[in-house]
Structure 1
Amino acid sequence: MAMDFLRKADWLTRDRVRGYALLVALASLALLANSYFKAMGPDGTDFLAFWGAGHVTSAGEPAAAYDLATQQRVQTATGSLGWFAFVNPPPFLFAATPFGALPFPLAWIAWVAVTWGLWAWASIRAFPRLWPLVVSYPGALVAAGHAQTGLLTGSLLVLAAHELGKRPRLAGAAIGALVMKPHLALLAPFWFAAGGKWRTFVAAGMTVAALLLAALLVFGTATFEGYVTSWKASGLLMEGVNTDFLLRMTTFFSQTRIFAGDGAAYIAGSISALLALLAAVTCWRRFDGDARATGAAVLAATALASPYLFNYDLPFLIFPTLWLVERGITEGFRTYEKLALVVLWFAPYATRAAALPMGVNLMPLAAVALFFLVWTRPGSGLAETETGTAAAT
């Protein structure tokens, strides 16, 4: 009976899951309030970079978004002792500028509310029956607490995965909008091409071109020149082995670099990226052309594709996680799968919270586990299936 408690996890009924999700959501509100008060203090917050860039852009000086001296002056004027370089491509200024026009304390709240709302809308649209697991998702809390871009980029990735089979041009436009953080879309061209989704491929390319042209016309060539200079600031972040910085990252490259140095890190990062790429080009055959299933596989693989990724970038993992829940409800959960999904649902937040105390960020292993569960889901025979009553959420 003790083994069945873990193996089948029949105690995870619909009502219990909803009750637990409500408790997690309430705890998340308290943690988010704590993050807000910390962000208003001398320690600052990542959002200062976006607000500072939007602030100078709203004042008619978009090129100053990339000027380090200007950003130091603007951001520290909020009372923060620290400040952050703005390194996103110029199209991101379209998103940042409206918030930069607001006072910083109000802008933080507005940014979190709007980006969380977009992400929740896209995720609930994809999984309407599983909405309690969306609104309480701990992976979204990390991005919200940092007031980072993960909720915005996550909404685009989830929208693309959900709409690819029904509205291919919309899916392409969503991926194209990731020009604001392009390393999250590394697998998309291969995913679309392998599936013959040429309308999606073209829509993505046209969206990228349109956003770049619009940014050039609106913000000017000096802004693009400033963006090129920001590459140096990005490079400085990766120089040397800054353990605290690398522990905040969620890649095999970063964690290997801590323990084994640059050479081993490049090998680990390359293997991870190549396996993710292989998944993107073979997923259509693996899932018999099921666009939604390939979306789950590619988004799970996206967490393994880039050497530069943080826990706050991971709200998009809601899609493969809930896809597995959805399939389990429909077809029956496999042995230990319910318990594994609970762990993976918490993983983006839990691995970040434990990284500094433990001295290692375990999210890369969680990403591999999530990808494995997605890849082996459809009748592969690699895992025993527990049939019977599935716990709907």
Structure 2
Amino acid sequence: MRNTPSTFNSFLRWAGVGLVVLISVVFYSAMAIVFHKNTLVNDFLGFYAAGAQLNAGDGARLHDHRVQKEYQEKVQPAMTVVVPFPRPRYYAEIFRPLAKFPEEQALWIWQGVQILGLLGTWWLLVLRYQAEILMLTAFFFPLPAGIAHGQDTGWMTFLAALSVYLYQSGYAFWSGAILALCLAKWHLLLLVPVAMVLGRQWALLQGFLGVSVLTLGLDFALDGVAGWESYIALLRRQDLDRMTPGLTLMPNLQGLFANLGIGSLWWVGLIFVLGCFAVCALRLPWPKALLAAQLGAILAVPHSFQYDLAFTLFPLVVLLSEGATGAVKWAGFLLLVPPLYLSTAFPPPWAGILALIPVVLLTGMAMQSAAGLLQRKRAQAAA
């Protein structure tokens, strides 16, 4: 009988976690169903048509906008706007087998794979922390938003989480190697090697660069110089509606400054953000420095979406679980809960709140890092 209270408390704890997870799964499923028809002619169409193009032996013209239009019209004759394939050539190989199925079936398979990535991320969080962590992270909106829109959010988030988990377990080299598997979304990794150098994380850097070189070699073997030139030309185009969700909806500096009506001054914010990132990379331990690199890249690049923030989930939990205080704690918490992401449903300047919170978080992290350094120097001087 002595164990009855603890057994009952354990039951209540797991029941509460299970209920939250169940509600979140229902929420995710509802989003996928609501957006299913729309996804077939949006993000996933670009992926699916890329696989069909490779299956037709036309990979040399993968990033030719006019050719993409031809293949997408074969799948969705009523489509009105082309969905560019924004990934490197090697990544399109993933969609070869999917393109052998009808598009609607392929989408369900693809979303099933992303859900497995989501479950893998949850599993790593539970392994590292207590099961209650799911009560905080189960409704992290960028994950279901990305999966519902047919993006690769699920497994990219899992790979980033696995990288952090391996680092915390003492496998720095393999942590860097796993992180480099996310290079298909290279714009989110732009500051990662810089953070590794500034933080003297040499084992991480070796693993990251090793896999990066192999990936680039594979891509060059498949695509060649002409393919890379075509890919760069596609990314530089300003006339592709589907390349951006609308300037004021993006969680980056250009989106923030556009919401404030001073879009031409976004470069001022860029200098500030890069300075904050450098301070964090120099002073913070790796999982937190990784978060700074992720936030800095999302804010700095000209093209980002809400679901790109999913990449930050595990490092964000690390930050909040290790004594975050003040603005850092509250900004981090806001990134984890759904209401923040509803701000984009409102007109400017309110839509800019989504981009403002990552700036506040990165700024707070840099200020706390600098304050800690000053305190240590004063203590050394006093001694």
> TM-score, normalised on structure 2?
0.77
Is the counterpart of residue 69 in structure 1 residue 69 in structure 2?
A: no
Moved more, 355-364 or 338-347: 338-347
Closer, same or farther: CA 375–125 of 1 in aligned 2, 3 Å: farther
Displacement after TM superposition at 1:352 (Å): 4.1
Contact 1:251 1:364 in 2 (8 A): yes
> Could you list the runs of 5+ residues in structure 2 that have no partner in the other structure?
1-12, 373-383
1:26-37 matches, cutoff 5 A: 26-37=26-37
Query: For 1:14 and 1:369, how far apart are their aligned partners in 2?
Result: 34
**2:88 pairs with 1:99:** no
Distance apart, 1:222 and its partner CA: 4.3
2:57 paired residue number: 60
Q: Equivalent residue of 2:261, what SS?
A: helix
| Number of corresponding residues | 349
Determine the structure 2 residue equivalent to 1:355. 344
1:121–1:334 CA distance, 2 compared to 1 (3 A) = same
Percent of residue pairs bearing the same amino acid type? 19
SS of residue paired to 1:358: coil
Contact 2:334/2:340 (<8 A) preserved: no
Distance change >3 Å, CA 14–CA 322, structure 1 → 2: farther
3-state secondary structure, aligned to 1:154: helix
Partner of 2:24 in structure 1? 24
| Counterpart-to-counterpart distance in 2, 1:219 and 1:336 | 46
Per chain length, whose mean CA-contact separation is higher, i.e. which structure has more relative contact order (CA < 8 Å, sep 6+)?
Answer: 1
CA deviation digits over 1:301-356, x for unaligned, max 9? Answer: 5544434321021112321442255447xxxx968999876543124xx4444314
237 and 259 in structure 1: CA distance in 2 versus 1, 3 angstrom threshold: farther
Report if aligned partners of 2:280, 2:365 keep a CA contact under 8 Å in 1.
no
**Are the counterparts in 1 of residues 276 and 366 from structure 2 also a CA contact under 8 Å?**
no
Partner of 1:229: 233
Q: Where does structure 1 lack aligned partners over 5 or more consecutive residues?
A: 1-12, 285-290, 382-393
Tell me: CA distance 1:97–1:208, structure 2 relative to 1, closer, same or farther (3 Å): farther
Change (3 A) 1:334 1:254: closer
The 5-angstrom pairing of residues 85-164 of structure 1 reads: 85-128=84-127, 129=130, 130-131=133-134, 133-164=136-167
Q: Which amino acid aligns with 1:60?
A: G
Q: Structure 1 residues 335 and 252, CA, compared in 2 at 3 Å: closer, same or farther?
A: closer
What letter is aligned with 1:280?
A
- Asked whether 1:344 is paired with 2:335, we answer yes
**Equivalent residue in structure 2 for 1:208, among 203, 209, 212:** 212
Partner of 1:8: none
* Map 1:1-393 → 2, pairs under 5 A: 16=16, 19-40=19-40, 44-79=41-76, 80-128=79-127, 129=130, 130-131=133-134, 133-165=136-168, 166-233=170-237, 235-236=238-239, 245-284=246-285, 291-324=286-319, 326-327=321-322, 343-347=334-338, 350-359=339-348, 360-371=351-362
RMSD after superposition: 3.4
Q: Is the 8 A contact 1:176 1:207 kept in 2?
A: yes
Residue 74 of structure 1 deviates from its aligned partner by 1.6
**2:327 and 2:360 in contact (8 A); partners too:** no
TM-score under structure 1 length normalisation? 0.76
Deviates more, 1:368-377 or 1:192-201: 368-377
